[in-house]
Structure formats: structure tokens, C-alpha cells
Amino acid sequence: MSRRDPQFNVRIPSELKDKLVTLAERNKRSINTEIVAAIEAAVELADQGLSIKRPEMSDLDYSDLVKRIERLEKKSNSN
């Protein structure tokens, strides 16, 4: 990377920034390099047809989702 590479500003929650700083320190990288590595990893996954789980989805229990779907199917079949 050079100083001539494109730049843009991103707003992130302070908790995420703190985690990013810790991760960069652990990996002995700058914060910028850590961000680029994370984006590159996400893009590589996307190129392979995979995706990173959304944080809000990680809180959902799989069995709870199955139960919800079954209830909805029963409800739609009874109508």
C-alpha cells in the first residue's frame, strides 16, 4: 500500500474500534493494515460464495428458528 492509494472515512462504533485496536496490536499491524486484511478476507469469502455472519444473526438460536418456521407453516396451512 502506498500513500497514493484511495482513502475514505468510515464511522464505526467505539466498541468495534477498541476491538480493532486490540486485534491490530495482537497481530503487530497498524489499524489500517488490520482493516484492509479484514476487508480482503471478507471479499475472498464473497468470491467463494460464502459470507460472514451478521452480528444480529449470531444471537439467534438455530432450534428457535426451526420452531418459528414450523409454527408459521402450521399457521399458513390452517388458513
Residues with Cβ within 8 Å of residue 45, at least 6 apart in sequence: 51, 52
Mean pLDDT score of the chain? 83
Q: What is the pTM of this model?
A: 0.59
Residue pointed to by grid coordinates 408459521: 72
Confidence class of residue 48 from pLDDT cuts 50, 70 and 90? confident
Q: Give the pLDDT confidence score for residue 12 in this predicted structure.
A: 92
pLDDT by residue (tens digit) across 12-26?
999 999 999 999 999
Rounded mean pLDDT, 41-67? 72
